[in-house]
Amino acid sequence: MMPSSSERPYSARARARRILALIRKEVRQIFRDPSSILIAFVLPLILLFLFGYGVSLDTTRTRIGVAIERSTPSARGLLAAFQASPYFEVDVATDRRELEQPLTSGQLRGIIVIPASFDADLWKRSATPAVQVIVDGSDPNTAALVQGYAQGVVGVWTRARAVEAGRVRSPSGSEERFWFNPELSSRFFLVPGSIAIVMALVGTLLTSLVVAREWERGTMEAMMATPVTAIELLLGKIIPYFVLGLASMSLCALVAVWLFDVPFRGSVLALYVISAAFLLPALGQGLLISAATKNQFLASQLALLSAFLPTFLLSGFLFEISSMPRVIQWITNLVPGRWLIPSLQTVFVAGDIWPLFLRDVGAMSLFGVVFLALAVRTTRKRVA
């Protein structure tokens, strides 16, 4: 309770001091509030473990049925090839009808029928013998994979047989070869992708929650009656959560490389540049949501719907964008995560490809500017 000092309240120094005070407050709150730690560090680890261990888009050991209509040596040979495949667990029958019931009940994911005419077809020297593949279309993802792998097994077996018989010197048709991910392990792109989800969580969900809480508890109103300006208030939120977002990304990256053996072929600098660019729109969106709703429950729902789910579904993380309907493909351009995923996967699995990174960083920064500007505008509209 002393007379005021001579320093002007809106000099750069005074502003910096206030922002620093707000950051200090925020950091204390983050460390004292278990829910921040939970969202920033525990939840990301759970997600990472889930995608690293639990979810796999590879079909390993899928249960299928093989029906051999006539037991000839070649048919038995093909059966053995199926049994030897690491992708299948095989039930054998002599009639496809025996396998139909387990297929409809979901015990089997597909049926391979080796027809009675199999041997005859084989000697006709036609490119591939007629083998029927029936799949359970209720899960299209698995169905497509079963079909693909089954045809692969048949193709490899046919060619091997032909080479053995000396009739063909080199196998005809194409030989597939995968660059960057030779084992075709889905973990290699799921784990980097889940880092994007984690940053959406910290950037948008956590930020919208903590700001909405300030509105609910009336502290935002009290702050606004002090010399603090709306921009200072927002910077006091953006800076700590930006750092927190990068920290939780770093934790995830370390776990990805050391625990899940995901390769890291790019540079650390590129990883941080890409992540920082994504955090701008994520934070902007969180601040905008909380200023517009001023309610924690609503803010969390909106954050999940507008940031978490699109990053999950429309970013190319789980579902290939090029196989989506054209309209949806166009909509994905409006999802900041869609610009993060390719760069993030590239920096881990392929290496530094700066033209790609710069395009994506540019797009994300643009979203960031728009969201942050809207957030400032909404917050400035004061308490009313």
Closest CA to 295 of 227, 379, 215: 215
CB nearer to other proteins: pick between 22 and 134: 22
CB nearer to other proteins: pick between 127 and 225: 225
Report if residue 227 touches other proteins, rule: CB under 8 A. Answer: yes
Report if residue 239 touches other proteins, rule: CB under 8 A. Answer: no
For residue 111, which phi and psi values (nearest 5 degrees)? Answer: -125, 135
Q: What angle do CA 92, 93, 96 make, to 5 degrees?
A: 125
CB nearer to other proteins: pick between 11 and 104: 11
Q: Residue 378 CB, nearest distance to other proteins (Å)?
A: 15
136-144, 166-174, 217-225, 352-360 -> range binding other proteins (CB under 8 A) = 217-225
Report if residue 47 touches other proteins, rule: CB under 8 A. Answer: no
Report if residue 338 touches other proteins, rule: CB under 8 A. Answer: no
Kindly give, in sequence order, each residue whose CB lies less than 8 Å from that of residue 241, ignoring residues fewer than 6 positions away: 26, 202, 203, 206, 207, 210, 283, 286
Report if residue 224 touches other proteins, rule: CB under 8 A. Answer: yes
Of the candidate residues 33, 100, 119, 121, the single one contacting other proteins (CB under 8 A): 33
Of the candidate residues 61, 217, 265, 359, the single one contacting other proteins (CB under 8 A): 217
Report if residue 28 touches other proteins, rule: CB under 8 A. Answer: yes
Report if residue 14 touches other proteins, rule: CB under 8 A. Answer: yes
Report if residue 12 touches other proteins, rule: CB under 8 A. Answer: no
Of the candidate residues 29, 181, 250, 365, the single one contacting other proteins (CB under 8 A): 29
Of the candidate residues 223, 344, 347, 361, the single one contacting other proteins (CB under 8 A): 223
Of the candidate residues 83, 107, 219, 333, the single one contacting other proteins (CB under 8 A): 219
Binding site for other proteins (CB under 8 A): 1-2, 4-5, 7, 9-10, 14, 17-18, 20-22, 24-25, 28-29, 32-33, 217-219, 221-229, 382-384
